[in-house]
Structure formats: C-alpha cells, structure tokens
Amino acid sequence: MIRLTPRRAGATALALAVGVVAAAACGGKVVFVEDDGAGGSGTTGTGTSKATGGTTKSTTAAAPSTMTTPFVCDNLSFGECVTAPGCAPIFDDACCPQCSPGVCGDCVNWEFIGCEDRDAACDGNFDCGFVGEYVCQGIAPNCSGFCDGTMGCEPAICAFEGPPCQGCQAIIANVCTAVCDVPPPPCPPGFVAASDGVCWTGQCIDQVICGL
C-alpha cells in the first residue's frame, strides 16, 4: 500500500480534478468513486457529460414514446364514417364487385361497404374495394349527374311538402345534422332529413346512412 503525504495527496487531487474537467470538455465518460471511509471501499457510477459555456452538464436521452390512440372506424355507418375526421369510406361496385368476384352486369352502382382509418385507406392500405377519394381530397362529390354511378352520392326523395329536389344526395361530413336554426323537414318512415353540412337540403335519405 502506498501512503500519500499531505503534499502528495493534494497534488493527486489536483491532477484528478484537471483530468475530470478535460474529460468532460471532450464529451468523455467520467468514473466517480465515492469513498465510504478509511477502508477505501466505495461505489462507482458513470455518466456522460457535456461542457457548455464552461459549465459541465449531464444529459440523458429521453426514450421515444410508443403510445398512440387509434381512431376506431369499424362499424360506423356511411354518414358517420364521412363525418369522423380520422375515417374514410370504402366502396364496391354492386354491378361488378371486387370483394366478391362474379359475373359483372352492364351497369355501375357504387355501394358503401365499410369504414377504414383515413390515412391508411387514402394510402391504399385496405383489403378490397375502392376508397372514397373525395373524402381523401376534402371535396364534395358532384351528384348532379348519374347518382348510382358517382361515388359518394346516394338516391334521395323529396321531403313532404317541400320544393322539388334532384333526388340525389351527396354524403359528406355532417350529412345527418344541421347547424342552422331550422327544423328538419318531415320524411316518410325509414328516411331522415339530409343536410349539406350546414342546413337541410329538402331531401330525405335512407336512415341506415345515419346509423339508425
């Protein structure tokens, strides 16, 4: 055992301090020994230090978060699906279905078959069918032409005692509700009033579209 004189102990402490500062300035690893007393036994610990403006600070990398909150789109109705901000509708052509291949008819009839996560569906990540591109693009479908052959359009009937209507309703966000201060027009059994997202359109759509 080497016994240090007070002068040698002081010199050793000074050299150790210089070494610690030099290692910290270079981003090195410093090993500290905690003396428990005369026996010289102690505990050791390591830490990575970074010198900033002459002051040594310890840094710890934060673990990346793996927690997510998925938006549930399963089992939503057509109207609920287009209204939910994280969902997108999936369609198939009833005249020539992709999801249940068979004999194709000489027609086009887009039908809502399910609801998927919007980001995944708009990137093409779903089992079968066709995504409602109008929802991915944030626009309304043009329902002034061929209703059955236009994705996002559904046949409608005119409300009781209402003005003439075109008989085709765009299924867009909030199609089943309205924010205007006007009561919904009366519709026959099995149908509900349709909205353009702001107020009632004077048309009635199948209540299944609204999840009823």
Residue range 76-107, pLDDT digits in tens: 999 999 999 999 999 999 999 999 988 899 99
Instruction: Check: CB of residue 141 under 8 Å from CB of residue 170.
Output: yes
Choice between 196 and 7, residue whose per-residue pLDDT is larger: 196
Extract the tokens encoding 132.
Answer: 């409602």
User: What CA–CA distance (Å, rounded) separates 182 from 187?
Assistant: 15
Choice between 133 and 101, residue whose per-residue pLDDT is larger: 133
**Residue 66 belongs to some domain of the structure:** no
**Residue 140 belongs to some domain of the structure:** yes
**Residue 3 belongs to some domain of the structure:** no
Number of domains in the chain: 1
**Residue 62 belongs to some domain of the structure:** no
**Residue 90 belongs to some domain of the structure:** yes
In sign, the C-alpha dihedral spanning 201, 205, 208, 209 is negative
Backbone angles phi and psi of 150, in degrees to 5: -115, 120
What's the mean pLDDT in 37-65?
Answer: 40
**Residue 11 belongs to some domain of the structure:** no
Domain that holds residue 199: 78-210
Q: Which residues of 53-158 form beta strands (DSSP E)?
A: 55-58, 87-93, 110-117, 130-131, 153-155, 157-158
**Residue 159 belongs to some domain of the structure:** yes
**Residue 182 belongs to some domain of the structure:** yes
CA distances 43 to 40, 48, 55, Å, are 10, 17, 25
